[in-house]
């Protein structure tokens, strides 16, 4: 089974790339969605988050208090790293189990959509990695259009890896600084050159 990793910073458009692949019939395991599931009410990561960040980190419904956690981690890289390590543990346990199921079914290709390309669980599972990059000013405007303040968007971008750091772990780079048509062209070219060549006809 060919495991394709797609990664990139916030506002770069990796989710758009994954939507194109999903629309072509490939299963996408979305780490952001899985991380939400493990931090919802009675989620498997909730006790570890409470232990690390205190009872205020959990809301009255027994889920992670996102507003409180965001106010802490996006101003402190060490706290962000701690939160990420807790959530990643459970996210990648789930991903490993799903990859095993897909292998047993004889699935030809699965996509891992992961914002933070950690070595164990993401890079170690991928046969190939596509990195989605974007001009920082374009990213900023996209995040503001998602109802973030300029300060919040700038902070979130600042605590992530730089474009160059993402590019260093990628096999192929998709520049999403332009429009959707340009994005489709790049993704379709990679589908033809990288997936079709491996017998993955989508």
Report pLDDT for 201: 85
Report pLDDT for 156: 87
d(CA 163, CA 160) in angstroms, rounded, equals 9
Residue of 178, 114, 174 whose CA lies nearest to 142: 178
- Domains assigned to the chain: 2-196 (3.40.50.300)
The gap from C-alpha 7 to its chain's centroid, in whole angstroms, comes to 6
Structure confidence by residue, pLDDT tens digits, 99-126? 999 999 999 999 999 988 877 778 889 9
Is the distance from CB of 62 to CB of 54 less than 8 angstroms?
A: no
Handedness of CA 13, 14, 15, 18 (dihedral sign): positive
Report pLDDT for 172: 97
Report pLDDT for 9: 93
Report pLDDT for 126: 96
How long a stretch of residues is the chain? Answer: 202
Reported as half-sphere exposure (CB side, CA atoms, 13 A), residue 89 has a value of: 12
Q: What are the average pLDDT values for consecutive 10-residue runs of the chain, which has 202 residues?
A: 96 95 96 94 95 95 95 88 92 94 97 86 92 95 93 89 92 96 96 94 85
Report pLDDT for 117: 82
| Angle of the 31-39 helix axis to the 46-53 helix axis, nearest 10 | 80
Report pLDDT for 131: 97
């Amino acid at each position: 089974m060919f495991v394709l990793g797609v990664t990139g910073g916030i506002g770069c458009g990796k989710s758009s790339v994954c939507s194109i692949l999903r629309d072509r019939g490939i299963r996408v395991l979305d780490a952001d969605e899985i991380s939400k599931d493990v931090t919802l009410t009675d989620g498997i990561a909730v006790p570890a988050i409470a232990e690390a960040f205190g009872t205020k980190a959990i809301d009255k419904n027994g889920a992670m208090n996102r507003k409180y956690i965001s106010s802490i981690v996006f101003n402190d890289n060490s706290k962000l790293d701690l939160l990420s390590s807790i959530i990643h543990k459970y996210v990648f346990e789930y991903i490993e189990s799903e990859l095993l199921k897909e292998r047993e079914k004889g699935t030809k290709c699965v996509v891992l959509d992961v914002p933070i390309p950690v070595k164990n669980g993401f890079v170690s599972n991928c046969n190939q990695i596509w990195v989605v990059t974007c001009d920082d000013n374009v990213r900023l405007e996209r995040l503001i259009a998602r109802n973030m303040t300029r300060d919040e968007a700038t902070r979130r971008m600042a605590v992530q890896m730089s474009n160059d750091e993402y590019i260093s772990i990628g096999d192929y780079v998709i520049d999403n600084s332009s429009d959707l048509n340009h994005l489709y062209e790049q993704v379709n070219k990679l589908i033809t050159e990288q997936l079709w060549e491996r017998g993955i006809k989508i």
